[in-house]
Structure 1
Amino acid sequence: MDTTNLVRRDIVIGSRRVSNYWWASVLLLGGSSFLVVGLSSRLGFDLVPFLPAGDIIFIPQGLVMCFYGLVGLVVSTYLWLTILWSVGGGYNEFNKQEGVMRIFRWGFPGRDRRIQLTCPLQDIEAIRVELQEGMNPRRTIYVRLKGKREVPLTRIGQPLTLAEIEKQAAELAGFLQVSLEGF
């Protein structure tokens, strides 16, 4: 029997998105620069020649720059760690051979780092698509299970285009042979 048509696995990127790399880098560079300028204003000489701090008085400007620099470095460190740990990354697997749906995501380090939801394919009633336009658009694909419980499948962050979400939802509903709701 051909097993290639019996298993569908969709990879979820999670925190390893290009935008997270961008913002982590920008915050690291900006936070470091602010901190160096703030410290230079306190010490009275430039720690880095291309970041002059001669006109900055330590209290209040230099102190505020040190504070913003530290905040930028803390947020940057947080972003780099979520990228390193691949928080939110994982996969959605629909296995007709075993009759099981597995949703796996990586969490933050600790006791519950591995987040896994497993349920029988017979419990899947439908695939539902939620489209919410406006200032904060939301385009999400849900698996509706028996008991009206809904499990989101799409990534958080950049919304998919209407064509992409329609294609993914239709392919998944066709693969699982369940109805598609929400358009």
Structure 2
Amino acid sequence: MPSPAATVETDSLRQPILGSRRPSNYFWAIAVSIGGVGFLLAGLSSYLQVNLLPFSEPTRLAFLPQGLVMGLYGIAAILLASYLWFVISLDVGGGYNAFDRASQKATIFRWGFPGKNRRVEITYPLSDIQAVRVDIKEGLNPKRALYLKVKGRGDVPLTRVGQPLPLAELESQGAELARFLAVPLEGL
């Protein structure tokens, strides 16, 4: 799913960043939740000798070892699903990149895990930005990302982690940002 379009005003540019609230995370959280509940109910049905699943007959399973193992798999899956739903609810990794010519500042904002670093916000003067760099690596583990080259800081990642952006979208975002900041676009 492509990220929402950047908002451009005359003196500011804001690029939203999709975090953990992407469709694939919702799919896996739902699938693991359903599977975990199913395995746990199968294990409990085997132990209690009461059919808790309407579409199968887990009471025929011997509790030791099949029912016990299914129950443990169910507990593990429910714990994993709880973690996935927690990360989705916090939108870990989500945020925005904002560039403002009026205040001469670039702000990179991301949500993190709870704690003192829940809000990750980094601000740079626009004058310290040397270039926008595009990093493209194809193969088994493709990588397509945008970076800001900042004086004295190295490269600052601008794109989301996980699924690589489509090449056309990456080029478009990089060119738009380089034009807005009046810096060179490197890596193409």
The TM tier, using the shorter chain, reads over 0.9
Query: What is the aligned partner in structure 1 of residue 138 from structure 2?
Result: 133
Say if 2:30 is the partner of 1:20: no
Q: Is contact 1:33-1:51 (8 Å) kept?
A: no
Say if 2:164 is the partner of 1:156: no
Say if 2:172 is the partner of 1:180: no
- Unmatched 5+ stretches in structure 1: none
Amino acid in structure 2 at the alignment position of 1:30: G
The one of 85, 94, 99 equivalent to 2:104 is: 99
Report the Cα distance in structure 2 between the residues aligned to 1:160 and 1:62, rounded to whole angstroms.
44
Query: What is the aligned partner in structure 2 of residue 46 from structure 1?
Result: 51
Report the Cα distance in structure 2 between the residues aligned to 1:23 and 1:17, rounded to whole angstroms.
10
Query: What is the aligned partner in structure 1 of residue 4 from structure 2?
Result: none
For the aligned residue pairs, the C-alpha RMSD in angstroms reads 1.3
Q: Which moved more, 1:42-51 or 1:104-113?
A: 42-51
Query: What is the aligned partner in structure 2 of residue 111 from structure 1?
Result: 116
Report the Cα distance in structure 2 between the residues aligned to 1:60 and 1:181, rounded to whole angstroms.
59
The one of 82, 86, 98 equivalent to 1:81 is: 86
Question: CA shift at 1:54, angstroms?
Answer: 2.6
How far does the alpha carbon of each residue in 1:53-101 deviate from its partner, in whole angstroms, 9 at most, with x for none? Answer: 0331111111111111111111111111111111111100001110000
Query: What is the aligned partner in structure 2 of residue 124 from structure 1?
Result: 129
Q: Which moved more, 1:85-94 or 1:62-71?
A: 62-71
Report the Cα distance in structure 2 between the residues aligned to 1:169 and 1:130, rounded to whole angstroms.
10
Amino acid in structure 2 at the alignment position of 1:139: R
Query: What is the aligned partner in structure 1 of residue 34 from structure 2?
Result: 29
TM-score, normalised relative to structure 1: 0.95
Query: What is the aligned partner in structure 1 of residue 175 from structure 2?
Result: 170
Query: What is the aligned partner in structure 1 of residue 66 from structure 2?
Result: 61
How far does the alpha carbon of each residue in 1:92-119 deviate from its partner, in whole angstroms, 9 at most, with x for none? Answer: 0001110000001111112211110001
